[in-house]
């Protein structure tokens, strides 16, 4: 899931495989977060460091799975958003400038993204700077995940998924990456079995 230039993403038979340092949910929503380094507070960096440590630990244990039910680790919505912002803070090629996610029960998610494609060749009628709002449900199956969208708005107007794919294609060309589609599934990072959400929290199972 990441047509907007998440590092390490490759598309495999309709899926997108991501490097283990890329958070699953951001990939699923196709809008990796970006913030200027000066905007990152000490608290945000601490939140990000905790997630990094946990993902590294899960990856290290991937080759020796423990018997019994899957183990889990819980992150707050605030930690997730902090980590996403820190992850790509220095990525000048990314078309995304802002991202805010809200997590709900049963893998329901909502988000707002601000995209800046100034200088890119866009389909007729699209402005280079745009706010995208979305809502949907994350579906996990056979080691991969995708988002099933229920609402999608561009600057307050409801839009079809095909229009977002045009934006993704323009962003990919702008960032010199493969385009993919908002419908793409994403292979879960190394060591993860599943992910779930409840209000304000993300739960990773490994």
What is the reported pLDDT for 145? 87
Token couple for 108: 């329901």
**Which pTM was predicted?**
0.74
Q: What DSSP designation does 39 have?
A: G
Q: What is the pLDDT along the chain (206 residues), one digit of tens a residue?
A: 333 332 333 333 344 443 322 333 444 444 445 556 557 899 999 999 999 999 999 999 887 766 778 899 999 999 999 987 887 675 666 677 777 789 999 999 998 887 787 877 776 677 888 888 989 999 998 888 888 888 889 888 898 877 777 777 776 676 655 556 667 788 888 888 899 999 999 999 99
- 87, 96 in Cβ contact below 8 A? no
Q: Report the sign of the C-alpha dihedral through residues 47, 109, 27, 37, in that order.
A: negative
Stretch (H or E) spanning 143 = none
Helix (H, G, I), strand (E, B) or coil at 137: strand
d(CA 152, CA 167): 13
Q: Residue length, the chain?
A: 206
Helical packing angle, 42-60 and 77-87, nearest 10°: 90
Q: Tokens 């029960």 map to which residue?
A: 105
CA contacts within 13 A on the Cβ side of 166: 14
- 84, 75 in Cβ contact below 8 A? no
In this structure, what are the phi and psi dihedrals at residue 107, rounded to the nearest 5 degrees? 65, 20
Q: Where along the chain do its domains lie?
A: 10-205
Residue 117 burial by CB count (10 A; 0-12/13-18/19+): exposed, middle or buried?
A: buried
Give Cα separations from 156 to 152, 166, 198 (angstroms).
Answer: 9, 18, 26
CA contacts within 13 A on the Cβ side of 7: 13
């Amino acid at each position: 899931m990441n047509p907007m230039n998440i590092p390490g993403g490759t598309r495999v038979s309709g899926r997108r495989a991501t490097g283990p340092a890329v958070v699953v949910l951001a990939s699923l929503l196709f809008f990796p977060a970006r913030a200027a380094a000066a905007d990152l507070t000490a608290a945000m960096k601490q939140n990000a460091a905790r997630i990094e440590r946990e993902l590294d630990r899960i990856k290290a244990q991937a080759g020796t799975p423990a018997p019994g039910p899957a183990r889990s680790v819980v992150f707050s919505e605030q930690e997730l958003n902090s980590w996403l912002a820190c992850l790509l803070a220095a990525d000048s090629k990314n078309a995304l400038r802002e991202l805010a996610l809200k997590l709900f029960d049963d893998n329901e998610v909502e988000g707002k993204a601000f995209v800046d494609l100034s200088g890119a060749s866009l389909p007729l009628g699209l402005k280079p700077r745009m706010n995208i709002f979305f809502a949907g449900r994350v579906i996990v199956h056979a080691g991969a995940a995708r988002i099933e969208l229920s609402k999608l708005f561009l600057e307050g107007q409801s839009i079809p998924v095909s229009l977002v794919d045009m934006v993704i294609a323009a962003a990919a060309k702008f960032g010199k990456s493969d385009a993919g589609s908002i419908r793409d599934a994403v292979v879960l990072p190394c060591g993860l079995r599943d992910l779930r959400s409840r209000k304000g929290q993300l739960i990773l199972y490994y």
